[in-house]
């Protein structure tokens, strides 16, 4: 009998999720599976928002940002009784396997469902790049390119007005967006959870740069370092002699057509998720490590050390 396989997106949306949905559906159909779309993540799952589709349902989506399946956050999914409703809905449709595209929270939901008899495979879809079992998550590259495009523009006006600009980027608790964009922009200071800089040191540096005649300053900072980055901005204005502005890039970072790198990553990882399902496996997540497609047990993946790009930190000072 044909395998029946569902696919959903969950957590914060990311560019390339649609390319991943397409890859899963097309690879599934090629392997003789019946494919189902689940709308609105785990919330849609428990509500039975599940639809059987053919290959044309994912036509023309590869270049679109966001997720055609829409995303949702359902904290109640941590509760076993809530997950039982999801299992019941899947059983009603005779679905035996599910591909869950999202971040580490989504992975936990997928693992718990696997333990309840549904073979789930996690695919890393998040701009944050905070999943240790893959070098890059789907959406990270596109997001970086958006940050670079915005920061180049901010740099123009920063230079023209001889100011200090602090650009706050997303990442939740992961500093990769700040680290990579800071290196790509050659900024003067990168502040991330793995590379914190005290207020005292920031102010001392800026005072020294002012004294040395440095005209303008570019700083990239991860979100959640300060409850409100405007506090740092005020301090710089008051204490360093630089006129300063803070730019919180916000959700513009999550939108837009996925980059070629994200589309190719989505194709590779989506296809591998179906390979694993065809082998009858579940409770796993897929990733790309050293440019090779790999998979891990989800619990193992979530325990790997998270700061996988620490080696790049040396570039911050080296290239200043």
Nearest-angstrom CA–CA distance, 143 and 154: 16
Q: What is the DSSP string of 142-167?
A: HHHHHHHHHHHHHHHHHHHTT-EEEE
Smallest distance, Å, CB 125 to ligand ADP? 8
Q: Does 42 bind ligand ADP (CB under 6 A)?
A: yes
Pick between residue 194 and residue 223 the one whose CB is nearest to ligand F6P: 223
Say which entry of ligand F6P, ligand ADP, none residue 172 contacts (CB below 5 to 8 A, set by partner kind). ligand F6P
Residues 6+ apart with CB under 8 A from 201: none
- How do 292-297 and 217-222 pair as beta strands? unpaired
Pick between residue 71 and residue 89 the one whose CB is nearest to ligand F6P: 71
Say which entry of ligand F6P, ligand ADP, none residue 262 contacts (CB below 5 to 8 A, set by partner kind). none
Nearest-angstrom CA–CA distance, 63 and 215: 41
Smallest distance, Å, CB 13 to ligand F6P? 8
> For 281, what's the count of Cα atoms within 13 Å in the CB-facing half-sphere?
16
Q: Mask of contacts with ligand ADP, 120-149, x by CB under 6 A?
A: ------x-----------------------
Q: Does 104 bind ligand ADP (CB under 6 A)?
A: yes
Smallest distance, Å, CB 42 to ligand F6P? 15
Nearest-angstrom CA–CA distance, 240 and 290: 43
- Contact between 40 and 70 (Cβ < 8 Å): yes
Q: Does 106 bind ligand ADP (CB under 6 A)?
A: yes
Q: How many Cβ atoms are within 10 Å of 208's Cβ, its own excluded?
A: 11
Residue of 128, 141, 194, 262 marked active site = 128
Residue nearest to ligand F6P (CB): 12
SS3 category, 296: strand
Q: Does 78 bind ligand ADP (CB under 6 A)?
A: yes
Q: Does 282 bind ligand F6P (CB under 6 A)?
A: no
Q: In residues, how long is the chain?
A: 320
Smallest distance, Å, CB 102 to ligand F6P? 9
Place of tokens 């008051």: 238
Stretch that binds ligand F6P, among 1-9, 44-52, 164-172, 270-278 (CB under 6 A): 164-172
Is residue 156 flagged as an active site residue?
Answer: no
Q: List active site positions.
A: 128
């Amino acid at each position: 009998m044909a395998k029946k396989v569902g696919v959903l997106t969950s957590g914060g949306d990311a560019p390339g999720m649609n390319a991943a949905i397409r890859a899963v559906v097309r690879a599934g159909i090629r392997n003789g599976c019946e494919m189902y779309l689940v709308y609105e993540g785990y919330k849609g799952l428990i509500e039975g928002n599940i639809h059987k589709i053919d290959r044309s349902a994912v036509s023309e989506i590869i270049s679109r940002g966001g997720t055609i399946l829409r995303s949702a956050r359902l904290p109640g999914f941590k509760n076993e009784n809530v997950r039982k409703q999801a299992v019941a809905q899947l059983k009603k449709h005779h679905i035996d396997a599910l591909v869950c595209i999202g971040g580490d929270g989504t992975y936990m939901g997928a693992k718990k469902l696997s333990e309840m008899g549904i073979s789930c495979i996690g695919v890393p879809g998040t701009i944050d790049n905070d999943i240790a079992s893959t070098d890059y998550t789907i959406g990270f590259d596109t997001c970086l390119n958006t940050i670079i495009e915005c920061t180049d523009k901010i740099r123009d006006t920063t230079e023209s007005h001889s100011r200090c600009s602090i650009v706050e980027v997303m990442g939740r608790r992961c500093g990769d967006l700040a680290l990579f964009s800071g290196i790509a922009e050659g900024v003067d200071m990168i502040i991330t959870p793995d590379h914190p800089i005290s207020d005292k040191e920031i102010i001392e540096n800026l005072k020294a740069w002012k004294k040395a005649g440095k005209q303008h300053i570019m700083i990239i900072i991860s979100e959640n370092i300060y409850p409100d980055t405007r506090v740092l901005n005020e301090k710089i204005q008051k204490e360093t002699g630089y006129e300063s502005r803070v730019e919180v890039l916000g959700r513009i970072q999550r939108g837009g057509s996925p980059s070629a790198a994200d589309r190719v990553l989505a194709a590779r990882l989506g296809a591998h998720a179906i390979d694993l399902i065809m082998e009858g496996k579940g409770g796993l997540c897929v990733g790309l490590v050293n440019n090779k497609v790999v998979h891990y047990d989800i619990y193992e993946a979530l325990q790997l050390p998270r700061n996988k790009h620490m080696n790049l930190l040396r570039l911050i000072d080296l290239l200043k």
